[in-house]
Amino acid sequence: MIKTGVLVSGSGSNLQAIIDAIEAKRLDASISVVISSNPKAFALERAKKHGIPTEVILKDSFPSREDYDREVVRILKSYGVELVVLAGFMRLISKVMLEAFPMRILNIHPSLLPSFPGLEVQKKAIEHGVKFSGCTVHFVDEGLDSGPIIIQAVVPVLDDDTAESLSKRILAEEHRIYSQAIQLISEGRLEVRGRRVTVKNNKVETGAMENPKAAIFD
């Protein structure tokens, strides 16, 4: 069973989904500690409710990103964390953390990367007029939302979508695939070659999707 540490800054719905998957025995992992950059994050309440230790590390207490990360690493190591799971953690990760956990830091992002890295990406997807969006679980590297991709889930963008309605549709998929990615790591089933991450003994599906449906050909 892999020991995770989950880093949060906000609502923590992804944290909740991971907790639920562990409790339902769909995910063979444990959460040793939840670390928040925000003392008011609702994620902290969620963790406490399930008896998970929490720590708050305030940005302003550290002169640099590296110093901040050194403290995060110290705490993660003190809890014996093997895999770091970023779940709405609103800070960029420095070399200090990357070197302490090489290819052992995951992030989830609410777009089909490499499209729309950064913030407010559901709004950007709608404004751009894409017909599909979704979410991506990836390894973290030094860039912004740029590390090797592990899993993506796709959702349609509907004509009357708002950033809110699209976010909701994407979030439901985030809650599903984040636990799946952690489970694959826990089972040692991922192979990473450069940017390409493959899953050993994987089922293959080759169906295509279209949106809008080309009704004239039905």
5 scored as a contact of ligand GRF (CB under 6 A): no
Interactions with ligand GRF, residue window 76-105 (CB under 6 A): 87-88
Q: DSSP string of 176-212? A: HHHHHHHHHHHTT-EEEETTEEEETT---------SS
Query: Three-class SS of residue 105?
Result: strand
The angle formed by the CA atoms of residues 125, 198 and 148, to the nearest 5 degrees, is: 45
11 scored as a contact of ligand GRF (CB under 6 A): yes
H-run or E-run covering 8: strand 2-8
In the complex, the smallest distance separating the C-beta of residue 81 from ligand GRF, rounded to whole angstroms, is 18
109 scored as a contact of ligand GRF (CB under 6 A): yes
Q: Which residue numbers are catalytic?
A: 109
In the complex, the smallest distance separating the C-beta of residue 213 from ligand GRF, rounded to whole angstroms, is 27
Structure tokens at 103: 């290819």
115 scored as a contact of ligand GRF (CB under 6 A): no
Q: What is the DSSP letter of 162?
A: -
CA end-to-end span of the chain, whole Å? 49
Q: Which stretch binds ligand GRF (CB under 6 A): 49-57, 107-115, 148-156, 182-190?
A: 107-115
In the complex, the smallest distance separating the C-beta of residue 165 from ligand GRF, rounded to whole angstroms, is 14
CB 3 within 8 A of CB 79: yes
When binding is defined by CB under 6 A, the residue of 13, 146, 165, 180 that contacts ligand GRF is: 13
CB 7 within 8 A of CB 43: no
Interactions with ligand GRF, residue window 20-39 (CB under 6 A): none
In the complex, the smallest distance separating the C-beta of residue 87 from ligand GRF, rounded to whole angstroms, is 5
Structure tokens at 213: 């449906």
Binding string, residues 137-176; x marks residues near ligand GRF by CB under 6 A: ----------------------------------x--x--
Q: Which residues bind ligand GRF (CB under 6 A)?
A: 10-14, 87-88, 108-110, 171, 174
